[in-house]
Structure 1
């Protein structure tokens, strides 16, 4: 691609699309040129809200098909519920667009594999919008932990949950749209553990299920992963309780604390003083701040946008920060968790 701005289209106009658009305005070399909705009025309202910040007009389209057909769009951000991703992405690929698709990529491993195959068939860029993997703080932690600066990680704990109060038609509670804590929240602790420990050798889970007709989705899920070298991870996601939203990594040299781990503003390592024997109580040393390698753009969505821009300019079809193999590995883990716990969606 040329040095001209990468032209973005946003498919859907929900809450996360607004958050994404605000960060996109902060990314050098990125331009929001179009938005599409199933209702023209919604697309027009969305475009009007950001028109003054873009340096150019934002086209409002009353259908997804019109959006992906827009010649002034290079890459489409898919912001619809999980169950709709495959159809939306297929539409974009067939129109010749590159894609950044909200996480999780799809509801099932089979659909995710089909999406990746479609990307290869059409020779289009595809990346799951896992902003945590692109976050400068998480990347600095990942790099320095792998280099051995903080000792050998033995255990990762991460939890994400809040009380969902919504109508049964809401995507969080509607099985037709991919309801449940696992897909919406559980993907974050699973990804965090994967980034720091590598691919899990095994995964076990328990879930609190809600039955709806021929489907069952999880209100909360607890997961345990076993990783190379004997490292373990405990992970929790919930739609019925308020969790800390934090992560912690226990190493043989100390402890790393990551508040709001999926988009952290602070990461600290507290080293443990060497003890003469197991009865000694030397206590912790002063915490060390783990600084990001580069600035965080907005809330952090800006960094994944910048990564997509970089990949497109370099002619890459997938990102080394969120490669297809990683996305499919995590989809495979969630498929196994679903099998163990009985989570199932309509038609399965």
Structure 2
């Protein structure tokens, strides 16, 4: 029997549009037969904006998808199984807190919060309310990503891992009106782009079978700040002892990632490479010493956001409050590492963004 998950979308920006379109993609096109999705409501800061969003992007469904002019209204809708938060990152904490306190399951876009204390608070409220909570790091649920983990950990195609390089960089004009250069909007390379570079580090080092999800022994970072006071380029070195792996993760708003390689995992037998883009990869390249290079292709029948939605639907169907593949504790640790990177480089957001309620 197919389980249909009913979604409420908060936010009327580009990411919400992409998520909505992927929810409407026929599951069978990606080989999924056990879950389906139904968007039932969209909320924006105004009713007109919500109505315009629905009419513009899904005109055929404008009479079946409800429009709300406030976030409080959508979290009170009893027909919704899970709330998807696609607002700007500066508002993730307050919107997620509103939804969780209303007893709603939540999938919140990345970066999950501004700092780790906010993430810890959300996890605590979710546990108290006995509801599901997950950060929407979509790439973690790609078939490619799951195969990547299998290749390097279970199959050990390159033998013991020794060194890892990850990068996620996008050249952006230094425009103060653009959110990534806007400190008040939680801008900078680290939270928005660096999260992807850290994701591949997590998959390789943190999730290594010998590491048992232990924290890195060393985190060292350097950042270049723009005149607009956001980090423009950041390099993070992590050292792991179980097993001994050195990882360098970089992100930048000043240049693009090298197209031929955004992830390189080096082992005794060769390396595994992922070409651009690190957020939506479609190829894995395996280079083994003395052998011809091998390329594995993973076409994406849509944007690729539906795989995380499928995972959430299964979790809610099965009564889970935390996803096994990407538990909320992993999001908290990711935020803790980014907090440490910011601390080492004296990079602070305005107090209003860093604010955490007492708990």
**TM-score computed with the length of structure 1 as normaliser:** 0.89
Distance, in Å, in 2 between the alignment partners of 1:210 and 1:261 is 24
Matched, 1:269 2:286: yes
- Against the structure 1 CA distance between its residues 55 and 150, is the aligned structure 2 distance closer, same or farther, given a 3 Å change threshold? farther
Distance, in Å, in 2 between the alignment partners of 1:138 and 1:54 is 33
Matched, 1:38 2:49: no
Q: Which of 252, 261, 267 is the aligned partner of 1:238? A: 252
- Pairs within 5 Å for 1:90-239: 90-147=97-154, 148-165=156-173, 167-198=175-206, 199-210=215-226, 216-227=229-240, 228-239=242-253
Task: Give the SS at the match of 1:172.
Answer: helix
- Against the structure 1 CA distance between its residues 125 and 53, is the aligned structure 2 distance closer, same or farther, given a 3 Å change threshold? farther
More displaced 10-residue stretch of structure 1: 257-266 or 295-304: 295-304
Shift of 1:142: 0.4
Task: Give the SS at the match of 2:349.
Answer: coil
1:198-233 residue CA offsets vs partner (Å, 9 max, x unmatched): 142211111111466xxx421111111112322111
Task: Give the SS at the match of 1:38.
Answer: coil
Distance, in Å, in 2 between the alignment partners of 1:55 and 1:48 is 6
Gaps in structure 1 of 5+ consecutive residues: 274-284
- Against the structure 1 CA distance between its residues 100 and 326, is the aligned structure 2 distance closer, same or farther, given a 3 Å change threshold? same
> What's the RMSD between the two structures over aligned residues?
2.0
1:45-89 residue CA offsets vs partner (Å, 9 max, x unmatched): 211234356697111111111121222211111111222111101
Distance, in Å, in 2 between the alignment partners of 1:5 and 1:243 is 38
Shift of 1:124: 0.8
Matched, 1:325 2:329: yes
- Against the structure 1 CA distance between its residues 268 and 13, is the aligned structure 2 distance closer, same or farther, given a 3 Å change threshold? same
Shift of 1:149: 2.6
Assess if the C-alpha contact under 8 Å between 1:140 and 1:291 holds in 2.
no
Assess if the C-alpha contact under 8 Å between 1:109 and 1:335 holds in 2.
yes
1:102-145 residue CA offsets vs partner (Å, 9 max, x unmatched): 11110111111001001101111000001121111011110221
1:238-272 residue CA offsets vs partner (Å, 9 max, x unmatched): 11222226211111111211012322111110111
Q: Corresponding residue for 2:295?
A: 289
